[in-house]
Structures are given as structure tokens and as C-alpha cells.
Amino acid sequence: MSKNRIIQNQVSLFHKLKHKFDYVHPGQRFNAHLADYFSVNEETVRRWTKGEAAVDLDIIEQLCKMQSTTLHEINDITIYGKLNVDFNFLDNETFTFETYLCNLSKTLEAGMKLPKLTMHYSAKDLPIFYYFHYKELAAFKIFVWRKTVICEPEYKKKSFTADMFDDTRIMEHGSKALDSFNKIHTVEVWNDETINSIVKQIIYFVEIEDVSIEMGITLLKQLKSLIENIEEMAEYGQKFDVETPEVKTGSFELYYNEIVLCDNSVVLDMGDAIKTFIPFQTLNLMHVNDYDFGKKSLEKVNLLQKRFDKLSQTNEGQRRKIFAKMKAGLNKAMASLA
């Protein structure tokens, strides 16, 4: 077997081992774990995984033993064509909305500890984190999801009140997720539909009298304030909490397109690993830890971004135009309820 072929097999082996490791140990760093296990530095592990340094067979055997697997089993993992996918279905018992938010918060909190993390978000709808800037707006979205997506029986005939989740930990989990999100470098792609769904939901629930007219107007006003805040974040290229806008946190890139439909997919670029979240049936997410799949997803995202208008820290005229259009739509919606 040629030297190049041996190196290719070694790199492939490490990719597959990392895939298994990420699935079993979400949020932990593969390279750091190996460095600690073999009492070497992370640079040595990096060279192993990139094929820049050969690995002895006894190390490979120890790697397999460490992860309770065999070389044969690892080689049966196909990187191309098949994927191991982790997912949970939101329901009323085993995986509740509260658990969903808790897991989301923990994922972001774990990501913040990594030396590198960038979140790429294809925003068909406004990213869930933003709603938690405003209590009433967050409570309304939770109400909508539990009533119409999860279809929890107790919400079938229930009307919306802003304090309906005060006796749960939902707001706490959401606020923690927002706090972590604010500190993470995010790259978001929006289009005209990104805020339309929440506007339509507010109007609809006012019309069927599950939300009062006064509350509907309050929600639309909060949404408008939120859009104005995000516009300011785009101007500075940094995020902030709306209560302390002077304190800038994670870097923020915003892109806009009129052609390509966004799908709420998320790619987390963690440097040594890439995690992809693919939405299905609205809130449910499939988690793909496969590095090669994530790399291809990231390449696609980067290619599309080059074709979109960048609105953050540049293109001021286009940014003002697009956000003015959003705010005009919100003013129109408020006028329809007045």
C-alpha cells in the first residue's frame, strides 16, 4: 500500500472516530480529549488527524478501546452517502418544550467554551433566541408553538396571557439561551419572509380572539422595537441585550437575499468539528455530527453568502431600505388592529 493511501486511511479513521466521539460526548472537544488521554499536546493530535504525522498501530488500538469499539466497526461507518442522525420529537411527555429549550441552552453554553465557534443561521423565521428579549413576545411564540405545533391538549381552548409561563422554567431556559447566543459569533441570512410568519401569527390569533386587540398591538410594537435593535446590531456588527445596548458582545454578520428560500437550518463551525442542525416538522431538529457532511454544508453556506447583500457594517443604504420595509409592514399590521 502506498504512503499516500496509508495517510488517507489514517485521516478517514480519525474522522470516523471523531464522528462516534461527538455523538457520544456532545459538547466535548475530540482533540483535547485525545491529548489528555495519550499525554501529548493538542498540536500532536491535530497532526495525527490531518495526516501530517503517522500514528502507530498500538495507538489506533487504544483509540478503539477507549471508545468501546473495534477497527472493523469503525470502518463500517460510511462517511459518504449515509449519516448517523440524532433527533428528538417534541411531545407532551418524554421531550417537552421546556426540555427542548434547556437542551438548546446547554448546547450554546458548551459551545461558548470552545476556542472557535461560529453559528451560521438560515433564517426562514426570526431565530428563536431573539424573542426572549421581550417577555410578552417570547410568551406568545411559546403559546403558538405549544398550541399549533406540539398540539398540547391543554392549549386547545386556551387563550393567550403574557404571564401564562411565569410558573415554569421556560423563560429561564430561553433567557440563558439568549445570553449565550448574544456572545457567539453568528452569521445570519434573512429574506422578506423572515419576520412575516410572526406578524401573520399575531394577526391570526387576534382575529380568532385568542389574543386581545390591545395585546396584539403590544406584541407588534415589541416586534418593531426588536427589529430596530437588530438593525442597530447590524450597523455595529455586534450583538447586545436590548436592556443594555451600550454593552456590545458577540460579533454579528447579517446577509439578505430575495431569491433563495431560507430553511432555519443551522451550521455550527467549531473549528475541529462541525455540527449541522436540520429542521423537520417546524421545531424538531435532526443533529448531524458528521464532519464531512458539515464541511459540505458550510461550503454551501459560504458560497451562498457571497451572492447575498451583506447588511452588517456596510451597505448602509440597502440596510436602511430593507429594515424600513420591515417596519412599514409592522406599522400596517398595527393599523389593521387599531
Q: Regarding predicted confidence, which is higher, 44 or 67?
A: 44
Cβ atoms of residues 241 and 132 within 8 Å: no
Bridging pattern class, strands 274-280 and 266-269: antiparallel
Q: Which of 5-9, 197-201, 205-209 has the lowest mean pLDDT?
A: 5-9
Q: Regarding predicted confidence, which is higher, 102 or 22?
A: 102
Q: Regarding predicted confidence, which is higher, 273 or 169?
A: 169
Looking at residue 247, the DSSP 8-state letter turns out to be: S
Cross-strand partners of 287: 86, 277
pLDDT of 247 over the 60 cut: yes
Looking at residue 131, the DSSP 8-state letter turns out to be: G
The domain limits of the chain are 3-75, 85-337
Q: What is the pLDDT of residue 267?
A: 92
**5 is written with which cell numbers?**
493511501
CATH domain 3-75 topology? 434 Repressor (Amino-terminal Domain) (1.10.260)
Q: What is the pLDDT of residue 272?
A: 76
Q: What is the pLDDT of residue 255?
A: 95
**What pLDDT digit, counting tens, does each position of 287-299 carry?**
887 778 888 888 8
Bridging pattern class, strands 118-122 and 185-190: parallel
pLDDT of 24 over the 80 cut: no
Q: What is the pLDDT of residue 4?
A: 63
- Please, what is the average pLDDT of the chain? 85
**What pLDDT digit, counting tens, does each position of 136-170 carry?**
999 999 999 999 988 888 898 899 999 999 888 89
Q: Regarding predicted confidence, which is higher, 45 or 128?
A: 128
Q: Which of 53-57, 290-294, 331-335 has the lowest mean pLDDT?
A: 53-57
Residues 80-107: what's their mean pLDDT? Answer: 76
Q: Which of 88-102, 189-203, 218-232 has the lowest mean pLDDT?
A: 88-102
Residues 8-17: what's their mean pLDDT? Answer: 73
Residues 311-333: what's their mean pLDDT? Answer: 94
Residues 9-24: what's their mean pLDDT? Answer: 73
Q: What is the pLDDT of residue 5?
A: 58
Least Cα distance to 117 among 261, 251, 211 occurs for 251
Cα–Cα distance measured from residue 47 to residue 63, given in angstroms and rounded to the nearest whole number: 16
Q: What is the pLDDT of residue 303?
A: 83
